[in-house]
Structure 1
Amino acid sequence: MPSRLLVLTDRAQLPAGRSLVEQVERCVDAGARWVCLRERDLPDDQRLALATSLTGLLRPVGGRLVVAAPLPAAAAWGAVADGVHLRRSDPVPPHASLVGRSTHGEAELRAAVEQGCDYVTLSPYAATASKPGHGPALGPAGLRRVIDAVPLGETKLLALGGISSGNAAEAMASGAHGVAVMGEVMRAGDPGRVIRALLPD
């Protein structure tokens, strides 16, 4: 299992003039080792090129790239993606080595665990600028309640949504294995500083 910090991409939130590859490179230089490539709106060839570039940043430092479903069937994806991140209704692919799934409550979390997902994101932990109105926010008490209700077994749970340096430790103290972050990093002029603040000691 990769580190306790998962960075999700969203090029729409980048600072003006900054490329996604450059933003992720700054994150990797600061210690990020696990990235989820989203960018589902891109044509397959452009998305594959982005995945190839990000893998080129991550693998030399022992990092891993997961790609948000749907993945094309092209064999080239197997060479650049270490795993797949599924939406709530995506089927589990038969041969993926690392499988994650987005969940938003107890029922979805339980289903993902029963499917044998390696990790899940549970959201929203807090109010989030990336998806305003998405909620209600779990907060530490809500997160603890869901975790207590669903035996996770080997599945690692990452808190997602409104995660920042101010609440990441709180989320992990409330039972999350780690945190997943998008907007706080993607919008940052200095994403390396944000990564260093988010990484667990």
Structure 2
Amino acid sequence: MKQDFHLYVITGEQFYQGKDYLQVIEEAILGGADIVQLREKDKSKKELLDMAKALRSLTARYNVPFIVNDHIDIALAVDADGIHLGQDDLPLQEARKILGPDKIIGISTHALEEAQEAKKNGADYIGVGPVFETKSKADVVDPVGLDYVQQVTEHVDMPYVAIGGIKLHNVQDVLKAGARRICVISAIVGAEDVKATAAAFSQEIKRARGE
């Protein structure tokens, strides 16, 4: 992994409770988020580009990697640190040809075969999930459960981030299954106190990592 991380936060406008997205993400970073992804499914390309520019500037100020979901053109336009792909997006090897060797490329996986394929094709990290039920994504697949987290821990030697329905009350279960990097959306960006909630997640993860 070009730059390791432990608390991965994804944007989610539907959860902000009237706050500005830049304020929410900055509070998350101040609480310990050390990688940020822009993912907004209902925005126009221009709106996404404007958001990406603003988030790129914010994350650069804190030296936090900035990832764009799906849109390679927007990632290139703002010189994002990388891109996150789904199983139905541009194939990972094609994305690598476009982005070059130095950018971070992550891909969502829902089964061991997909995780192994991602490693073979040169992903920098994989998403493992959704671990639990989640409302952050309309077209989400069925939860993969903690068993899949354990499978990846045991059989796929590469960085992965557990994602999907992870809250403070169940994060320990995910960490006990072997996860060392956690992705959170609504539990952080929708929290009343974003910074404090991010800090609580960060502490739990670092404790599990022995840091």
Does the 8 A contact of 2:32 with 2:199 survive in 1?
A: yes
1:111 maps to 2:112: no
Per-residue CA distance 1:18-50 (angstroms, 9 max, x = gap):
121121111122222210100133222221211
How far is 1:143 from its partner?
A: 1.8
* Matched length: 194
Q: CA-atom RMSD, angstroms?
A: 2.1
The aligned counterpart of 2:84 is 85
Structure 1 29/146 Cα, relative in aligned 2: closer, same or farther at 3 Å? closer
Mark the CA change 1:69 to 1:75 in structure 2 (over 3 Å): closer, same or farther.
closer
1:141-152 mapped onto 2 (5 Å cutoff): 141-148=147-154, 150-152=155-157
Query: Is 1:170 equivalent to 2:173 in the alignment?
Result: yes
Residue in structure 1 matching 2:194, options 175, 191, 195: 191
- The residue type paired with residue 83 of structure 1 is G
Cα deviation, residue 111, structure 1: 1.4
The aligned residue for residue 125 of structure 1 is 131
User: What letter is aligned with 2:142?
Assistant: G
**1:116-160 deviations in Å (ceiling 9; x for gaps):** 111111112123243588424412x44213432x332xx311111
Deviation at 1:86, TM superposition (A): 0.4
Shift of 1:109: 1.2
Shift of 1:196: 0.5
Gaps of 5+ in 1: none
Mapped contact 1:33–1:58 kept (Cα < 8 A): no
How far did 1:74 drift? 8.2
3-state SS of the aligned residue for 1:72?
helix
SS for the counterpart of 1:39 is coil
1:26-175 aligned within 5 A:
26-72=27-73, 75-78=76-79, 81-90=80-89, 91-92=91-92, 93=95, 94=97, 95-96=99-100, 97-131=103-137, 134-139=141-146, 141-148=147-154, 150-152=155-157, 155-175=158-178
Provide closer, same or farther for how the CA distance between residues 166 and 60 of structure 1 changes in structure 2, counting only shifts above 3 A.
Answer: same
Checking the alignment, whether the CA contact within 8 Å between 2:112 and 2:148 is kept in structure 1 is no
Write the mapping of 1:2-21 to structure 2, written as runs, cut at 5 A: 2-15=4-17, 17-21=18-22
Gaps of 5+ in 2: 207-211
User: 1:107 and 1:193, CA in 2 relative to 1: closer, same or farther beyond 3 A?
Assistant: same
- Corresponding letter in the other structure for 1:66: I
Higher helix share: 2
Partners of 2:25 and 2:15 in 1: CA distance: 13
- TM-score of the aligned structures, taking structure 1 as reference length: 0.86
Give the TM-score normalised by structure 2.
0.82
Alpha-carbon distance in structure 2 between the residues aligned to 1:120 and 1:75: 21
**Letter matched to residue 151 of structure 1:** V
Partner Cα distance (2:49, 2:19) in 1? 19
